[in-house]
Chains A and B, each alone.
Chain A
Amino acid sequence: DAKTTQPPSMDCAEGRAANLPCNHSTISGNEYVYWYRQIHSQGPQYIIHGLKNNETNEMASLIITEDRKSSTLILPHATLRDTAVYYCIVLSYNTDKLIFGTGTRLQVFP
């Protein structure tokens, strides 16, 4: 499975957009980009996933570059409850295993 690289921490003001980057330069054609987040003392929560096209749901938007070597998770209007560790994961449909890295710790401040 391809490895991902994320900044260890980021800050964001409440009400502003939070843009979380992820590098996955060794991603292959059958691998998807998944984003999960983990709020303190809870299990990871699914946010969004994509293959090539940009995706949007009620929680976030996922922007994948044309060469698929990087992506950005966008929380359009961050709230204090979005403070969490965000994991970018590359998932192969051949292995079907979520392999977590160390993620990005997002702190949303008032």
Chain B
Amino acid sequence: EAGVAQSPRYKIIEKRQSVAFWCNPISGHATLYWYQQILGQGPKLLIQFQNNGVVDDSQLPKDRFSAERLKGVDSTLKIQPAKLEDSAVYLCASSLGLRGGDYGYTFGSGTRLTVV
């Protein structure tokens, strides 16, 4: 079974520029999550999708971050404009159903963003 694919693996941008990350979840996984992990901290949930609808985006800084999930499959996370404090690893995870606990959450390797 292929895992959760994320790209790019690394990205360096200047502050105030925009950036986009892409995630392809495991086939058939209805629920998709984006996490932000700042160095030395645990991952922080940004947004949760169920199919192509948003379940929870309460922690997403909506003034600069946006996310969408096309046709309930792939997802993109965008930052515009980026700030220095956005430097982090952005992780995508997916699970089979809304009650992902029984089936587990599978994480991608993440995109490491550096804002200079």
Size band of the interface chain B makes with A: 20 to 34
Given the known inter-chain contacts A43-B93, A46-B104, A102-B41, please indicate yes or no for A96 contacting B31, CB distance below 8 A.
yes
Contact of A96 among B35, B99, B106, B108 (CB under 8 A): B99
Nearest chain A residue, comparing its CB with the CB of B107: A43
Secondary structure call for the A interface: loop
Q: Do B108 and A43 touch (CB < 8 A)?
A: yes
Contact of A98 among B4, B41, B105, B109 (CB under 8 A): B105
Given the known inter-chain contacts A42-B109, A43-B91, please indicate yes or no for A49 contacting B101, CB distance below 8 A.
yes
- Per the CB 8 Å criterion, the residue count for chain A at the interface is 21
Within 8 A of B (CB), among A39-81: 41-46, 49
Q: Do A32 and B104 touch (CB < 8 A)?
A: no
Nearest chain B residue, comparing its CB with the CB of A99: B45
Shortest CB-to-CB span from B62 to chain A, Å, is: 18
Nearest chain A residue, comparing its CB with the CB of B110: A43
Shortest CB-to-CB span from A54 to chain B, Å, is: 18
Shortest CB-to-CB span from B40 to chain A, Å, is: 8
Within 8 A of B (CB), among A3-25: none
Which A residues contact B (CB, under 8 angstroms)?
32, 34, 41-46, 49, 85, 87, 91, 93, 96-103
* A/B interface sample: 28 pairs, CB < 8 A: A41-B109, A42-B110, A43-B4, A43-B91, A43-B93, A43-B107, A43-B110, A44-B43, A44-B105, A44-B107, A45-B107, A46-B104, A49-B101, A85-B42, A91-B101, A93-B101, A96-B100, A96-B101, A97-B33, A97-B45, A97-B56, A98-B93, A98-B105, A100-B35, A100-B44, A102-B41, A102-B42, A103-B42
